[in-house]
Amino acid sequence: MASIFSKIVAGEIPAYKVAETTGFLAFLDINPLAEGHVLVIPKKEVDELFDLDDETYTGLQIFAKIVATGMKKVLPCKRIGVTVIGLEVPHAHIHLIPINGVNDMNFTKPKLKFTPEEFSATAEKIKAALRTTEG
């Protein structure tokens, strides 16, 4: 069965997308630890990050770098934290999380709630920053 992320890739379920290439997609985590918590994924469905072929793995890391650079421009944070967990969704992904301290990466904390309008506004902000980055 296709993963929930493959369903997002196929357009079968919605997501707040922030960046897309032929091989990769970035969208907001629906249960975020911070405003602008982003997931970057390869469109190709592989469960574990370290099982990706080298080309997809390095492409994903470069894509994550581009997205994180845009995020840093528009989200109030000291750093973009990077982590890989993968215990919930069996489709390789990297979490990019705007952080001000190490506790902001604590996945046992209650997740934040945002309205659809707030999620959309955050996604638009990151997209705009990425357009500037590209230009």
128 binds ligand AMP (CB under 6 A): no
With left for phi above 0 and alpha for psi between -120 and 50, is residue 86 left, alpha or beta? left
Q: Does 46 bind ligand AMP (CB under 6 A)?
A: no
List the structure tokens of 119. 């999620």
Work out whether 30 is an interface residue with ligand AMP (CB under 6 A): yes
Q: What is the DSSP letter of 2?
A: -
Q: Assess contact for 35 and 98: CB atoms under 8 A.
A: yes
From candidates 22, 87, 103, 135, binder to ligand AMP by CB under 6 A: 87
**Residue 36's CB: how many other CB atoms inside 10 A?**
24
Q: Does residue 37 carry a catalytic annotation?
A: no
Please state the closest distance from residue 94 (CB atom) to ligand AMP, in A: 9
C-alpha to C-alpha distance for 81 and 77, rounded to whole angstroms: 10
29, 122 in Cβ contact below 8 A?
no
Nearest Cα residue to 93 out of 122, 70, 123, 60: 60
Q: Is 113 a residue that touches ligand AMP (CB under 6 A)?
A: no
Comparing CB distances to ligand AMP, the nearer of 30 and 128 is 30
CB of 110 to ligand AMP, least distance (A): 12
Q: CB of residue 14 vs ligand AMP: minimum separation in angstroms?
A: 8
Which positions from 55 through 74 interact with ligand AMP, judged by CB under 6 A?
A: none
From 37, 91, 93, 95, active-site residue: 93
- Residues with catalytic function: 93
